[in-house]
Structure 1
Amino acid sequence: MTGPSGTRPGNRPGPKPRLTRDEIVDAAVEIGVERLSVGAVAARLGVAPGTLYRYVGGLEEIASAAAARVFADVPLPGAARGWRPFLEAEAELAYDLLLRYGSLLTDVGADLAAVAGDRLRQVVTTLRAAGFGPTASVRVADAVLDVVADGAVQTRWVCGPGGGPGDLSDSARSYLDTVAEPVRGELHALMADPRGHVLDKVALLLDGVELRRDRGAEGYAGIG
């Protein structure tokens, strides 16, 4: 059965919705990456979920693009106080962003390589301006961001889904039960403050960078 215009009941007459990839990513960011789904994005844009697949490959691509947009929109800390305060502030910022968005991105298998690569490039550029040599700037930036990324993954494991500071997942508790004292108590204390633990590891790393500078190591000497 068809209607007067020749369309089937339930079908909307007129041209198919026209979207752009940027509009889809904008909608995903507005929804929030932590609440992202193909259905939620489609509903926000007023289209059927299947329509999105004309423009993107699926949730993984949407999540990756949305995360990239969020990271790109968050500027790097200022470097006026020196290279070390800059890196410490960037470590805090990157940790908080990864902790907020990393769980869903991991769940959907989104690729953050492009996001991480662009952030690394910006950090390296700042270090080069502060006097680091090309090789040293890449090594330092990569090491700091690696510690932060690994720390965010460990934090999600320690706290569990939806857990906050001081919360321990069943997996973390089971692991602690296998460790003897006094190490068990020390590990428990670290797990109770995962953010502080990660940032302290960054500080340890930067202590080593300062030592290389003080010794005049190639690529590190003369840093302001």
Structure 2
Amino acid sequence: MSTLGRPTGPKPSFSRQDVVDAALEEGVDAFSLTAVAKRLGVRTSALYRTVSSRDDLLRACLDRLGDQAAVPVAAAIRSAQGHHDWEPVLRAGAESMWEVLEAHPGLSQVLLTVPWAFQSFATAMNAFLEALEAEGLGHADAVLALDATGDTIVSAHLSLRAMRTAGPLEDWPRTRPGVRLPNELVPDRSLVWRGFLDAKLKLIVAGLRHLHDHD
């Protein structure tokens, strides 16, 4: 009797990297082992020669995306350094995070729902932290800045993605009769949520400056 993840028999005609490619083509938030196997033209059981479980494959996918993200994120951060001010670094890091999420639909969903997913982005996160500290932000405040910025970027992107994939606007349920929302909060297909994102980043910056000035 073979153990799951301990292959026996002939070497498979595909590699672990091929399995990762197929999973990412299915969607990092949506792939199943069955769908990945079908894309590769093999039985689902054959995948266990290269991956031990769906979580193992998800981690491999996230590691791939984390490696891809590390270079542009670090480059964006470096371009913002040298001003003796951490705010340009924070904004550059936030913008590069947004671009990573835009390039990989479904990643925001995974980052919000899989507790360990962020660990695959450690290289980019460490570069962000080091740059914030190099520009004058204390370590504790730099960690807070990274955490608050990351949470805000990911949740904002997930909200925008939901709007992009929803049905026709006229079919959306409305608020209850007699209940009014500010116009800015009424669901809309425009990129208004990106506008709110920039305002939220401004709020994060203001809060961090207050903390920094009163340390």
Please indicate, yes or no, whether the TM-score normalized by the shorter chain is above 0.5.
yes
CA contact (8 A) 1:29 1:66 kept: yes
Give 2:3's aligned residue. Answer: none
Q: 1:114 aligns with which of 89, 113, 119?
A: 119
Give 2:139's aligned residue. Answer: 134
Inter-partner Cα distance in structure 2 for 1:151 and 1:93: 14
Q: Does 1:25 align with 2:20?
A: yes
Give 1:200's aligned residue. Answer: 199
Inter-partner Cα distance in structure 1 for 2:90 and 2:146: 8
Inter-partner Cα distance in structure 1 for 2:96 and 2:169: 22
- Residues 16-62 of structure 1: per-residue CA shift (max 9 Å, x gap): 41655344224434665367443453355453221112332444432
User: SS where residue 137 of structure 2 aligns?
Assistant: coil
For structure 1, list consecutive stretches of 5 or more residues without a partner in the other structure. 1-13, 219-224
Give 1:187's aligned residue. Answer: 185
For structure 2, list consecutive stretches of 5 or more residues without a partner in the other structure. 1-8
Question: 1:134-153, aligned counterparts within 5 Å?
Answer: 134-153=139-158
CA contact (8 A) 1:124 1:137 kept: yes
Give 1:187 shift. 0.7
Gap change, CA 1:92 and 1:144, over 3 Å in 2: same
User: What residue identity is the alignment partner of 2:137?
Assistant: F
Q: 1:97 aligns with which of 97, 100, 105?
A: 100
Gap change, CA 1:98 and 1:178, over 3 Å in 2: farther
- Taking structure 2 as the reference length, what is the TM-score of the superposition? 0.68
Inter-partner Cα distance in structure 2 for 1:30 and 1:195: 26
Q: How many pairs were matched up?
A: 196
Larger Rg: 1
CA contact (8 A) 1:63 1:110 kept: no
CA contact (8 A) 2:111 2:117 kept: no
Question: 1:1-224, aligned counterparts within 5 Å?
Answer: 15-17=10-12, 20-29=15-24, 33=28, 36-43=31-38, 45-74=40-69, 75=71, 76=73, 77-82=76-81, 83-98=86-101, 100-102=105-107, 105=110, 111-115=116-120, 117-157=122-162, 159=163, 162-163=165-166, 170=172, 173-174=173-174, 176-177=175-176, 180-181=179-180, 183-188=181-186, 192=190, 193-213=192-212, 215=213, 217-218=214-215
- Taking structure 1 as the reference length, what is the TM-score of the superposition? 0.66
**Identical amino acids, percent of aligned pairs:** 26
Give 1:5's aligned residue. Answer: none
User: What residue identity is the alignment partner of 2:156?
Assistant: G
- Residues 127-172 of structure 1: per-residue CA shift (max 9 Å, x gap): 1222222212111111111211222333344x16x249x95883xx
